[in-house]
Amino acid sequence: MTKKKIDNLKNSLELPVIMAPMFLISNPQMVIKACEGGIVGSFPALNARTKEVLEEWMIQITTALDELKKNNPNKNIAPWAVNFISHRTNKRYVEDLELVKKYQPPIVITSLGDPSPVVKVVHEYGGTVLSDVINMKFAKKAIEKGTDGLILVSNGAGGHAGILNPISFIHEVRELWDGLIILAGGISKGQDILAAEVLGADFVYMGSRFIASEESMAADAYKDMVINSTIEDVLYTDAFSGIKGNYLIPSIVRAGLDPCNLEEKKEINFSSVNNPQAKAWKDIWGAGQGVGDVKKVESVSKIIKELRCSYNEAKAAIAHAKEPLLSGN
């Protein structure tokens, strides 16, 4: 991805933020409100339970954003994104990729597999591909396969996440990659966004901060649990999908399981868990280590406004402190 294309993407946003796609949480309403607020809105393709519903969602999003652009010519309406599972267990791989080709989302986020077939389709219509990576091995593979940007899913990210320190991770990636970098992992405030930029990230990935939004599809009990949870309520385990991820301990207990005695999963499977009465995302709820910053249910628009204010305040504080810091005082 060229520097010009990166700059164009940055200039299309009010904040360098991508609302992360969240399974069984993100929906078209969240995407539209995010884009209207000046951040990238995204959703997992599999949140639409059939390919017909996915097509309806894509039509709804593109129509709404076209209307917003028409009625607000001087306002930054951010691009939207869809998350595509590239893993072989995705039974809708072919059908969903055909819809990507048809409706041409500006950004496609690939997860858990080879992004190259998606890259081929998306680059044909001029779109951008971002790839989730949790370590250097997968980062190098994604670069080799032609991705435009790397989403560094670091320690503390909600849902499926890695274990690498975000500071060390971004430094090592920058040694071999001058393209687009999006940093994920416990980011929940405007100050965090600025800190990520200082480290060398172009954008941040933010999911848990939006779970308790008014527009979210999360159950009310899930939203309440996020509001009442802290960093100590987050457990990192592969017991539910076969892939390591961060989950809320109270939801594990609520499902009748012992968080201290979970059975390791033998294979990747997104639809079941060892206890047949509890399924990942439906009964066992994911969240990142930034849950302690979620205090109440708010609209997506309100959350973005708060992020913009705290981001600008952080920038102003750094600017005010710059001269004394440089002079050694």
Strand partners, 298: 213
pLDDT tens for residues 58-116?
999 999 999 999 999 989 999 999 999 998 788 999 999 999 999 999 999 999 889 99
pLDDT tens for residues 130-163?
999 999 999 999 999 999 999 999 999 998 889 9
The pair of three-digit structure tokens given for residue 55, joined into one six-digit string:
């097509």
H-type alpha helices, the chain? 3-11, 28-36, 51-71, 93-103, 116-124, 136-144, 166-176, 190-199, 220-228, 249-254, 300-327
* C-alpha–C-alpha distance, residues 316 and 312, integer Å: 6
Amino acid at 106: P
pLDDT, residue 269, reads 53
Helix (H) or strand (E) holding 134: none
Q: What is the mean pLDDT of residues 268-275?
A: 45
Residue 270 confidence class, pLDDT cut points 50, 70, 90: very low
Residues 196, 280 contacting (CB under 8 angstroms):
no
pLDDT tens for residues 217-238?
999 999 999 999 999 999 999 8
What is the chain's mean pLDDT, rounded?
A: 91
Residue 254: Cβ within 10 Å count: 15
Q: How many CA atoms lie within 13 A of 141 on its CB side?
A: 15
Task: Show the domains of the chain with their CATH numbers.
Answer: 7-218+300-327 (3.20.20.70)
